[in-house]
Amino acid sequence: MSCRLPPLPRLALAALAAAAAPALAQDSIKRCVDPAGRSVFTDRRCSELGAVPTAPEEFLAPTPSTPDAPADGPAGGAGQTPPPGGCPRTPSQLAGRLNRALATRDGNRLSSLYDWVGVSGRAAARVLDRLERIAARPVLGIVPVLSAAEPEREPVPELAG
């Protein structure tokens, strides 16, 4: 038995799918910030809630010049780039690197932020599989949330030895 459709129903199906595409795009989840500064996630326009939109690209866009250069804004900060291959030293640096790994859906980059000390080979394979699945999912963004009592500190320069 064949599952082929005659040309006319195929054309109608294609037209229906094309007509539904803008409606599906409009129903996507949007991230907004309300007047109190809280993040709000909605399927409506932010202005309907008295909020302003925050573009996911603001948090997720990898910088074209260097892969680990921090972006301006909440996910990064000028002058706080960790050394190549080094660990992020502030929550903002970590959020920036997480955002770039998730924006590019790069499980290897995400795994570079994992603390692998003491992980056996078998456990490492399971963790890496899990990180790959996490990286494959869409993410709006990761923003560090710091308490008012603990402001973010500048990293301590390494001592010359």
Kindly report the pTM of this predicted structure.
0.44
In angstroms, what CA-CA distances link 26 with 21, 48, 53, 134, 140? 9, 14, 14, 25, 16
Per-domain residue ranges for the chain? 29-60, 62-143
What is the distance in angstroms between the CA of the first residue and the CA of the last residue of the chain?
Answer: 77
Residue 77 clears pLDDT 80, i.e. is over it: no
pLDDT band at 99 (very low <50, low <70, confident <90, very high): confident
